[in-house]
Amino acid sequence: MASLFCFLMGLIFIYLGKMVILEFSVLSLFCNNIEGLVYFDWMTFVFMSCVLFISSMILNYTKGYMGSDLKIKRFIFLMSLFVFSMMFMIMGMNLVSVLLGWDGLGLVSYVLVIYYQNVKSFGAGMLTALSNRIGDAALLIGIALLTDCGSWNFLFQDLMDLKGVGWMIILAAMTKSAQLPFSSWLPAAMAAPTPVSSLVHSSTLVTAGVYLLIRLSPMLTVTQLKFLIFISMMTMFLAGLCANFEYDLKKIIALSTLSQLGMMILILSLGGSDLAFFHLLIHAFFKALLFMCAGYIIHMMSDFQDIRFMGGLVNFIPTVCSCMMISNFALCGLPFISGFYSKDLIAELLSMNVFSWFIYLLFYISVGLTVSYSMRLSYYIFWGDANFCSTMKFSEDAGFQMLKSMLGLVGLVIFMGSIFSWVLMLTPYCVILPFFMKILTLVCIGMGGLMGFELTNFMYYYQLKTLKFNFLLMFVIGMWNMPILSTFGVSPFFLRVGSIYFKKFDQGWGEYYGSQGLISIVLMVLGKLQKSTNSYMKIFLALLVFYFLIFLFI
| Band (391; pLDDT cuts 50, 70, 90) | very low
| Band (298; pLDDT cuts 50, 70, 90) | confident
Cα 382 to Cα 232, 280, 297, 408: the distances in Å are 32, 28, 11, 22
Handedness of CA 228, 230, 233, 235 (dihedral sign): negative
Question: Does residue 267 lie in a domain region?
Answer: no
Q: What is the pLDDT of residues 242-290, one digit of tens each?
A: 888 888 888 888 888 888 898 899 888 888 888 888 889 998 998 888 9
CA dihedral 197, 201, 202, 203 (to 10 degrees): 110
Each residue of 509-539: b (16+ CB within 10 Å) or e? eeeeeeeeeeeeeeeeeeeeeeeeeeeeeee
178-187, 322-331, 503-512 — most confident range: 322-331
Question: Does residue 209 lie in a domain region?
Answer: no
Arithmetic mean of pLDDT, 111-136 = 84
Question: Does residue 297 lie in a domain region?
Answer: no
Provide the domain limits for residue 539: 515-553
Single-letter amino acid code for the residue at 168? M
CA-nearest of 324, 329, 327 to 313 is 324
Mean confidence (pLDDT) of the chain = 80
What confidence score (pLDDT) does residue 132 get? 84
Arithmetic mean of pLDDT, 387-416 = 72
Helix locations, 424-514, DSSP H: 435-457, 459-463, 470-477, 482-487, 491-501, 509-513
29 has which bridge partners?
32
Question: Does residue 546 lie in a domain region?
Answer: yes
Cα 373 to Cα 194, 220, 332, 388: the distances in Å are 20, 34, 10, 22
Arithmetic mean of pLDDT, 393-408 = 72
| Band (448; pLDDT cuts 50, 70, 90) | confident
Cα 552 from Cα 505, distance rounded (Å) = 51
From 137-146, 211-220, 239-248, 502-511, the region with the lowest mean pLDDT: 502-511
Cα 347 from Cα 363, distance rounded (Å) = 8
Arithmetic mean of pLDDT, 348-363 = 82
Cα 324 from Cα 152, distance rounded (Å) = 45
Q: What is the pLDDT of residues 47-92, one digit of tens each?
A: 888 888 888 888 888 888 887 777 888 888 888 888 888 888 888 7
* % pLDDT > 90, the chain: 0
Q: What's the whole-model pTM score?
A: 0.83
Cα 318 from Cα 320, distance rounded (Å) = 6
From 59-68, 173-182, 488-497, the region with the lowest mean pLDDT: 488-497
CA-nearest of 306, 324, 304 to 314 is 324
* % pLDDT > 70, the chain: 81
Contact 111, 80 (CB under 8 A): no
Using the predicted structure, report yes or no on whether residue 469 has a pLDDT greater than 60: yes
Domain count, the chain: 1
Contacts of 136 (CB under 8 A, 6+ apart): 99, 102, 103, 106, 172
Residues found in the chain: 554
Q: What is the DSSP letter of 153?
A: B
